[in-house]
Chains A and B, each alone.
Chain A
């Protein structure tokens, strides 16, 4: 049999051939190219156009970037250096304007010896944000905290000021005390987040420390009144009593108390910082002040407006709808003009308050109306069953909102809220039209007004645009991170 078999086939393969490589067109880079860049005539054309665009842009701008000059005192000097190093016809960026006017771009006309104050406010902002943004403790947070503390120390040494260290020590001491009583880190810092607004106001504008202290005490007074009244007469009367008490405090007690305390302490350092006027603010200090204040106030305001708009009380609903639609219907510029031209008409004759505060109010109202609409969308997206379940548990309106509805609605609306925040931050550039020195136009115009830098356009725009891009882009990435982290559906 075997013999026959052997005769029938002259060759029998005993082992498999090694698999041959796929055809060259179906492998490696060529395959990737074919699939991703040249998968059809349309795609091929698009790819070629894309490469052409990139090539053109690189060809135009790379020499300009590479020929950049960092050390010069005027545009003319810049051009001379470029002509000397790269030849007569060469173009080049004059980054020296950023280097030379760095302080103006960052701080406007804020007094030079007081730069530590806005920087400290920014560092403390990070501390204040920690318990809000991060709920779990992690090693990264310890490192971040260490870096902030080191920066505060450096600041304090380089400006010869001991106040920053004092503030830091107080924060550390209170946090450690709370920590030893069992409060979790970083959420035991939450008290500082509450104090931060007053502290930041004092650091930025200076003056007596008692003004923010007494103003913040108004909240304490309101809270005490609320606790006291609500145990006696119920939550709703208590809330009313709290608000009334706080307003009475601010209206009647605050002024004389601040005066009296200022008289006692005098103008000594821990109680008094040199005052800085609003017209000395400028650059990114101004943009961040308006942006952060606006973001912080507009979120709670937006929540209240959204709840008002979904309320079943027609009067409350009507007021909220009217407010939201009016604000959303007009451009921010007109609101800013109202702030600068008309707001004084609507205050008691002779009163006046700071232009930056006026602008913050208008920016906040504008942003709150948009956030209200975003949150309304989130509330509408919640299934009815959630509301009914909350009712079935016997929760009252505020408890249901706080424990059941809002956490879910806010989670849904995170992308919308963050893009409103980004919009608000970008809109801080519009304050230039009411004669504030924003970094984009106010400061660059001021820089260009000097004889040395007349005619420098692109470098300041690129620099300011890059900073805005970094801030806004990281905000949008953070919102994506948060969205993913809070995702609870099955994946």
Chain B
């Protein structure tokens, strides 16, 4: 009797680690952890053994040595006397430049193409399908190479722009000439565009490694001020309209507020455009947008835009037909229906995949290697790596920077995504 009421005693047996679900997950985790640690240790041990054999020691001090090489696109000041670290920063800025330009352009083109693909216009819809399928199913490297080849092979050389005395005497035209009122020169080295210069400078301030011209700061401040002023006028007009029923005329006032201050400021700073002119081997003056940048940017943009177009299309199709019909029933025209009713709702579906397209574009910018654009991989992972022979350290920094960039983009876009997400309560 006593035996019957006795419950079996809980004793811990080794077998329970495997067969008892309470302990099993712990066991698996411990085993996995041990395996992972063993693997990591194996890699680390091999690394150390290899470095011993090669008699090398990991060290990042090479970053502070003189780089000694030149870079053809420097958005922050750089000479060959600067350090490898600064060369790396130059590359990083170049990477960010092409990524930002690419993301903006790809979004614009992607949305337009995505909307047009759903257009009732038979021809346009077919053309857009051809574009999307054509770009999505071919490696992006091909597009970059083809666009680069178009630029280098088909555009004229700088010397084709030259006008010699004999040619004037003979009444001949040069092989090529500048476009847009003789201000922009498209050559097979790059596009030379006019540069804004100021006769008077307000000075510079140094923020970190980046020198910022106070002129730019002043112009930005005035523009922001103008926009605020314009809004204030509008607001005032609305208030008057609501009070009296008559909207006051604000055209001249708003024009003056919008453009007056900036024109005055530019005049005061002695603003004018520096037109590129042919001198020696190249055009001088103006800004050179290299063909490498153009090819990389266009290639990445057109390729990514094809994917974004598909995302936009899927997002629009995900919005129920009733929304469109309701909008039409209210008498809203198709164009306004798209921009006021459909797209804002589709945005919520579109944003998450859009983030990953931005990430892909940023990572694909490392294809700069194909067109010799000096991005982060070109400086740090290219010339610096070769000159110093520090492949381990260089690749480590390179991967960490890309990782940081990716995490930054995805976290930034996630914040935005949360802001526009449907608030469910």
Contacts and interface: CB of A to CB of B under 8 A. Distances in A.
Contact of A315 (B29, B119, B122, B366): B29
Contact of A50 (B32, B124, B369, B403): B124
B406 A328 contact: yes
Top 8 A-B pairs, shortest CB-CB distance:
A472-B137, A36-B122, A329-B406, A329-B403, A331-B363, A331-B366, A426-B139, A315-B29
Interface stretch (B47-55, B66-74, B323-331, B341-349): B47-55
A465 B142 contact: yes
B120 interface: yes
Contacts of A429: 139, 141-142
Q: Pick the most buried of A43, A316, A337, A457: most chain B CB atoms within 10 A of its CB.
A: A337
Contacts of A347: 46, 50
B46 A346 contact: yes
B122 A440 contact: no
B310 to A, nearest CB: 10
SS of B interface (majority): helix
Given A43-B121, A338-B395, A426-B140, A331 B364 contact: yes
Interface residues of A, number: 59
A341 interface: yes
A224 interface: no
Contacts of B46: 345-349
Contacts of B364: 331
A237 B18 contact: yes
A440 B399 contact: no
Contacts of A433: 369-370
Contacts of A461: 142, 145-146, 149
Contacts of A307: none
A426 B307 CA distance: 14
B50 A349 contact: yes
A39 interface: yes
Nearest to B24: A236
B147 to A, nearest CB: 11
A43 B119 contact: yes
Contact of A441 (B121, B335, B370): B370
A236 B18 contact: yes
Interface string B133-153: 110111111100110010001
Contacts of A314: 29
Given A42-B335, A331-B366, A440-B145, A472 B138 contact: yes
B399 A330 contact: yes
A234 B24 CA distance: 13
A333 B367 contact: yes
Given A46-B116, A333-B377, A430-B367, 15 more contacts: A46-B124, A50-B123, A236-B18, A316-B29, A328-B359, A328-B406, A329-B402, A330-B402, A334-B399, A341-B391, A345-B51, A345-B392, A440-B139, A440-B142, A469-B138
A458 B407 CA distance: 38
Query: How many interface residues does chain B have, given as a range?
Result: 35 or more
21 contacts: A37-B121, A42-B335, A43-B121, A46-B124, A53-B127, A240-B31, A330-B363, A331-B364, A331-B365, A333-B367, A333-B369, A334-B366, A334-B399, A334-B402, A342-B392, A349-B50, A427-B139, A440-B141, A457-B149, A468-B142, A473-B137
B214 interface: no
A35 interface: yes
A312 interface: yes
A213 to B, nearest CB: 28
Contacts of B18: 234, 236-237
A205 B140 CA distance: 30
A464 B139 CA distance: 10
A317 to B, nearest CB: 10
A147 to B, nearest CB: 25
Contacts of A312: 25
A36 B120 contact: yes
A453 to B, nearest CB: 15
A328 B407 CA distance: 10
A426 B140 CA distance: 8
Contacts of B138: 426, 465, 468-469, 472
Interface in B22-66: 24-25, 28-29, 31-33, 36, 43, 46-47, 49-51, 53
Contact of B137 (A337, A441, A457, A469): A469
Nearest to B334: A40
Contacts of B123: 36-37, 46-47, 50-51
A441 B33 CA distance: 43
B354 to A, nearest CB: 15
B114 to A, nearest CB: 15
Interface in B381-411: 381, 391-392, 395, 398-399, 402-403, 406-407
A422 B137 contact: yes
Interface in A41-59: 42-43, 46-47, 50-51, 53-54
A255 to B, nearest CB: 19
B121 A473 contact: no
Nearest to A396: B21
A408 interface: no
A328 B47 CA distance: 24
A334 B381 contact: yes
Interface in A298-337: 312-316, 319, 325-326, 328-334, 337
Contacts of B402: 329-331, 334
Interface in A425-480: 426-427, 429-430, 433, 440-441, 457-458, 461, 464-465, 468-469, 472-473, 476
A55 to B, nearest CB: 12
Nearest to A423: B360
Contacts of A37: 121-123
Contacts of B28: 313, 316
A400 to B, nearest CB: 14
B209 interface: no
B19 interface: yes
B47 A346 contact: yes
B53 A349 contact: yes
A325 B407 CA distance: 9
B137 A345 contact: no
B32 to A, nearest CB: 5
Contact of B49 (A53, A328, A348): A348
A332 B362 CA distance: 12
A88 B217 CA distance: 58
Contacts of B363: 330-332
Contacts of A313: 25, 28-29, 32
A415 B363 CA distance: 22
B34 to A, nearest CB: 10
A156 interface: no
Given A316-B28, A332-B363, A461-B146, A46 B119 contact: yes
A441 B141 contact: yes
A344 interface: yes
B120 A349 contact: no
Contacts of A440: 139, 141-142, 145
A136 B314 CA distance: 32
Contacts of B124: 43, 46-47, 50
A236 B140 CA distance: 45
Contacts of B392: 342, 345
A422 B139 CA distance: 9
Contacts of A47: 121, 123-124
A329 B359 CA distance: 8
Contacts of B399: 330, 334, 338
A342 B391 contact: yes
A319 B37 CA distance: 11
A270 B43 CA distance: 39
A39 B406 contact: no
Given A47-B121, A316-B32, A344-B50, A441 B395 contact: no
B395 A43 contact: no
A342 B395 CA distance: 8
A316 to B, nearest CB: 5
A337 B31 CA distance: 32
B314 to A, nearest CB: 10
